[in-house]
């Protein structure tokens, strides 16, 4: 899952990026409003964490532009402005969530996860694909009764496939949602990680979960 953090207070921006990356997200950061808008327009982010008072361009302005351009990214406003009017204005302009500084990092993570579930129409924090189970909160994976240990990158890949289980997903899509802007990896690396993931979750005596759709990408579970 790929996130964008637009926050001009450097200590907060850095720690947020660090915490979110450690939680398995691909994170891009910027502290300038105009740059933030450029990022938001040029990539399909799952969640954008947006400060309101920014140099270059105001957060609400960015939000308006994102929405008028029809971007589907979920936007969480993260600000020290806490009045009712501020919240109402933010949410009415198209924000999906509003968190007031200072905040608990765990809450921010939980809200980001909730936004992600919403964007992939997943109500439950636990995804089942046949006998594969993924707990989105604890980031643990089981095949039948056996728990499978995955690296953060492998988990991120599986989570993205599981969120869109049954749909064919292109390599570019996967690459864009798993890797952040600064990553040097190319989309070929997706094939490599699919290989790793198959080794860990496929069982010889059970049906295959990850299917390759020739020329189009991959699909988890039965094709829809």
Partner 1 sequence: MTCSLRTRLLTGIIVGMILLLTVFSLLIYGVIRSALVKQFDTSLASVTHMLAASVELDNDKIELEFEVQQMSEFQNSEHPTHYQFWGPNDVVVAKSPLLGTDDLLRIEGSLNELVLGISQDKNGQPQRTAGLKFMPRIADSDDKNYQPPTNVQAITLVVARDVGDLHGQLRFLRWLLLIASAAVIALSFLIAAIIVRQGLNPLHSIAAGIAAISEDDLATRIGTTSAPAEIIPIKNRLNDLLSRIEDAFRRERRFTADVAHELRTPLAGIRSIIEVSLTRARDTDEYQRVLSECVVIVENMQTMVNNLLMIARLDARQVTFRHEHIYLCELVNSCWRPFSEKAKEREIAFENQAPNEITVNSDRENLSMVLSNLLNNAVEYANDAGQIWATANYTNDSVEITVANTGCQLTNEEVAQVFDCFWRGDSSRKDAGVHCGLGLALVQRIIQALGGFTTAEVKSDGIFTIRLVLSQQANSGRKGC
Cβ-based neighbour number of residue 144 at 10 Å: 12
* 18 vs 211 by CB, closer to partner 1: 18
By the rule CB under 8 A, 18 interacts with partner 1: yes
**Does residue 49 contact residue 76 with C-beta atoms inside 8 Å?**
yes
> Could you say whether residue 84 binds partner 1 (CB under 8 A)?
no
Q: For residue 106, state whether it binds partner 1 (rule: CB under 8 A).
A: yes
Among 31, 74, 113, 177, binds partner 1 (CB under 8 A): 31
| In the complex, minimum distance from the CB of residue 149 to partner 1, in angstroms, rounded to a whole number | 16
Number of residues counted as binding partner 1 (CB under 8 A): 26
Rounded Cα distance, 120 and 164, in Å: 7
Q: Which of residues 159-188 bind partner 1 (CB under 8 A)?
A: none
Stretch that binds partner 1, among 4-12, 124-132, 152-160, 162-170 (CB under 8 A): 4-12
- Which of 70, 84, 85, 104 contacts partner 1 by CB under 8 A? 104
Out of 41, 64, 80, 213, which residue is the one contacting partner 1 (CB under 8 A)? 80
Kindly give the interhelix angle for 188-201 and 152-163, rounded to the nearest 10 degrees.
90
- With CB under 8 A as the contact rule, the residue among 41, 44, 82, 195 that binds partner 1 is 82
Q: Is 202 in the site for partner 1 (CB under 8 A)?
A: no
Q: Are 127 and 136 in contact (CB under 8 A)?
A: yes
Structure token digits, residue 161: 């496939």
- CB of 165: closest distance to partner 1 in angstroms? 28
218-221: which pairs have CB atoms within 8 A and are 24 or more residues apart? 218/161, 218/168, 218/169, 218/171, 218/174, 218/194, 219/161, 219/166, 219/167, 219/168, 219/169, 220/129, 220/158, 220/161, 220/162, 220/164, 220/165, 220/166, 221/129, 221/130, 221/165, 221/166
Residue 88 Cα to chain centre, angstroms: 25
Site string for partner 1, 128-147 (x = CB under 8 A): --------------------
Rounded-to-integer distance, Cα 168 and Cα 211, Å? 9
Of 102, 145, 199, 205, the one binding partner 1 (CB under 8 A) is 102
* Interacting residues toward partner 1 by CB under 8 A: 8-12, 15-16, 18-19, 22-23, 31, 53, 55-56, 80-83, 100-106
């Amino acid at each position: 899952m790929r996130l964008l953090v637009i926050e001009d207070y450097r200590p907060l921006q850095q720690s947020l990026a660090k915490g979110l990356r450690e939680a398995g997200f691909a994170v891009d950061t910027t502290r300038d409003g105009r740059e933030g808008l450029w990022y938001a327009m040029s990539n399909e982010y799952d969640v954008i964490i947006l400060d309101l008072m920014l140099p270059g361009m105001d957060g609400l302005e960015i939000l308006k532009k994102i929405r008028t351009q029809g971007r589907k990214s979920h936007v969480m406003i993260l600000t020290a402005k806490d009045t009712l009017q501020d919240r109402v204005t933010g949410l009415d302009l198209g924000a999906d969530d509003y968190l007031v500084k200072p905040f608990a990092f765990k809450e921010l993570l939980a809200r980001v996860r909730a936004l992600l579930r919403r964007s992939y129409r997943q109500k439950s924090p636990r995804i089942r694909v046949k006998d594969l189970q993924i707990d989105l909160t604890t980031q643990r994976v089981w095949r039948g009764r056996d728990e499978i240990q995955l690296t953060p990158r492998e988990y991120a890949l599986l989570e993205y496939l599981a969120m869109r289980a049954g749909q064919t997903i292109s390599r570019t899509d996967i690459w864009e949602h798993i890797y952040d802007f600064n990553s040097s990896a190319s989309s070929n690396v997706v094939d490599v990680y699919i290989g790793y993931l198959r080794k860990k979750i496929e069982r010889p005596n059970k049906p295959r979960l990850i299917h390759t759709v020739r020329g189009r990408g991959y699909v988890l579970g039965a094709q829809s």
